């Protein structure tokens, strides 16, 4: 397992872009649109928010690219924050990744998967919310077991899922536009509002939900130490990877919105199923739905695989609890880290499908904190240490970092205003992490 910490630079530009595709494209695009539509009640604004979310991810990735050109090594935020601010923020980013980042996403994806299963295999058992949670928990436990048993088994399954994911997404786009009735293209600009006034913070709340679908835009930074010619390939891969993800998301949303009257999409978390039924009919739509379900399975698998490796690396660096670096003597995997992540994810599953909206905001708020600190840190380092070698610099500085900072702050404020309970819960867990950090330091 020590090889994980000393990997060679063998990822080229194409491989790096593919990693971004695999990391970002997942459950979000197939579950978030309905909730965003429910808030905005306007199809055009849904598309605008998906485009704006892409801009946030692109500007964030350009900022990360500058930091990676300075420190081209594995670690992502926790490596940046340690160099800029010291060990406490590094600890907290690992703490939040464990308690919220990967675990909440795994739970949300598994619940969405069960929603799709209910369409493919309608049965009385899955009509009960408790039974749905049981099934979602079993899926999480299954993949946890697979990734504990061995690296090769887990990676083989994940590679197959990634290939299928890309094939299914591009097939859905191509066949979706081929089968779409373009008479209904007017649905792309239809306003379905039932209320006369929308608060600007409503749109901030919708945007933070959209950013769930873009989570992973910074994933390449965690394995930057394995990218060839990082000064050249990292900025290009991060920009073009997120750019094409944004295009894919806008195209898929266009298909969803053209295929179905907006009123039938609002607050639904299985928009892919609804769109497929309207576009392809009962029989072929089941094939598409099975394909989307495979994408969701892929997302669960990759997060259960990647998350514990992040905790493992951070634990080896003494940034987070040392017990998370335990390696199973038989299987050579970070079994304790995987087990703890699975248990926390299952707890989120039983919080309930009815609370998905709240979980999205709770997750979005929590995960906005440390990328925001990272980009602020980029600005600080420009003025604090201008002599550092920067093979790549963010274009149009300081406007691009300020754009990212402004939108991130706006989303967090909107979250506090609209859903204070979920936002302050996220803040509470960050503060709890500070307490744990000083306790942990006292035990060393």
> What's the confidence (pLDDT) of residue 10?
61
Domain count of the chain? 1
pTM across the whole model:
0.84
> What's the confidence (pLDDT) of residue 380?
93
Segments forming the whole domain that contains residue 217? 2-443
The burial class, CB within 10 Å (0-12 / 13-18 / 19+), for 125 is exposed
106-124 per-residue burial string, b: 16 or more CB within 10 A, e: under 16: bbbbbbbbbbbbbbeeeee
Q: Which of 429, 321, 424, 444 is nearest to 96 (CA)?
A: 429
| Gap between the Cα atoms of 392 and 311, Å rounded | 29
| Gap between the Cα atoms of 30 and 35, Å rounded | 11
What's the CATH code of the domain at 305? 1.20.1740.10
Per-residue pLDDT of the chain (444 residues; tens, 9 = 90+): 333 334 456 667 887 787 788 778 877 888 889 989 989 989 999 999 999 999 999 999 999 989 888 887 766 787 788 888 888 888 888 788 778 878 888 888 888 888 877 776 777 777 777 888 888 899 999 988 887 876 555 455 656 666 777 888 888 888 888 888 788 888 898 888 876 677 899 999 999 999 988 988 887 777 676 677 777 888 888 899 999 999 999 999 999 999 888 888 888 877 888 888 888 877 777 787 788 888 888 778 777 877 776 777 677 766 667 777 777 777 777 788 888 889 999 998 887 666 666 777 888 888 889 999 999 999 999 988 888 888 889 989 899 999 999 999 999 999 999 889 888 988 998 999 899 888 877 776
Query: What would the two tokens of residue 223 be?
Result: 């394995």
Query: What would the two tokens of residue 8 be?
Result: 């060679």
Q: Which residue, chain included where needed, has tokens 């089968």?
A: 179
Q: Which of 313, 345, 425, 318 is nearest to 99 (CA)?
A: 345
Half-sphere exposure of 329 (CA within 13 A, CB side): 0
| Gap between the Cα atoms of 330 and 45, Å rounded | 53
Q: Which of 41, 13, 363, 327 is nearest to 214 (CA)?
A: 363
> What's the confidence (pLDDT) of residue 5?
39
191: three-class secondary structure by DSSP: strand
């Amino acid at each position: 397992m020590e090889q994980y910490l000393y990997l060679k630079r063998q990822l080229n530009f194409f491989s790096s872009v593919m990693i971004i595709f695999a990391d970002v494209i997942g459950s979000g695009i197939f579950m978030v649109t309905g909730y965003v539509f429910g808030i905005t009640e306007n199809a055009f604004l849904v598309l605008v928010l998906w485009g704006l979310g892409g801009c946030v991810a692109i500007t964030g990735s350009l900022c990360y690219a500058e930091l990676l050109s300075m420190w081209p090594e594995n670690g992502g935020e926790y490596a940046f924050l340690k160099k800029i601010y010291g060990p406490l923020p590094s600890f907290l980013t690992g703490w939040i990744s464990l308690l919220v980042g990967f675990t909440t996403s795994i739970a949300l994806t598994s619940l969405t998967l069960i929603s799709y299963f209910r369409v493919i295999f309608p049965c009385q058992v899955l009509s009960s919310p408790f039974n749905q949670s049981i099934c979602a928990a079993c899926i999480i436990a299954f993949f946890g077991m697979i990734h504990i048993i061995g690296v090769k088994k887990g990676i083989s399954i994940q590679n197959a899922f990634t290939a299928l994911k890309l094939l299914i997404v591009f097939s859905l786009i191509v066949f979706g536009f081929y089968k779409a009735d373009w008479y209904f293209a007017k649905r792309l600009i239809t306003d379905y509002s039932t209320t006369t006034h929308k608060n600007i913070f409503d749109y901030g709340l919708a945007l933070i939900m959209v950013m769930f679908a873009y989570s992973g835009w910074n994933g390449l930074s965690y394995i930057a130490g394995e990218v060839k010619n990082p000064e050249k390939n990292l900025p290009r891969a991060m920009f073009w990877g997120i750019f094409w993800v944004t295009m894919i998301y806008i195209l898929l949303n266009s298909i969803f919105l053209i295929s179905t009257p907006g009123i039938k999409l609002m607050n639904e978390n299985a928009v892919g199923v609804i769109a497929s039924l309207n576009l392809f009919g009962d029989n072929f739509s089941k094939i598409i739905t099975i394909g989307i379900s495979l994408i969701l399975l892929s997302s669960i698998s990759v997060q259960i695989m990647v998350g514990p490796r992040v905790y493992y690396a951070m634990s080896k660096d003494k940034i987070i609890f040392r017990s998370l670096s335990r390696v199973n003597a038989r299987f050579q995997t970070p079994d304790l880290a995987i087990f703890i992540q699975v248990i926390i994810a299952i707890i989120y599953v039983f919080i309930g499908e009815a609370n998905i909206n709240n979980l999205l905001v709770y997750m979005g708020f929590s995960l906005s904190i440390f990328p925001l600190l990272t980009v602020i840190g980029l600005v600080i380092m420009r003025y604090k240490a201008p002599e550092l070698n920067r093979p790549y610099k963010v274009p149009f500085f300081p406007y691009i970092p300020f754009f990212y900072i402004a939108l991130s702050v706006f989303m967090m404020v909107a979250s506090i205003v609209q859903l204070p309970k979920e936002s302050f819960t996220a803040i509470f867990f960050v503060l709890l992490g500070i307490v744990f950090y000083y306790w942990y330091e006292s035990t060393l």
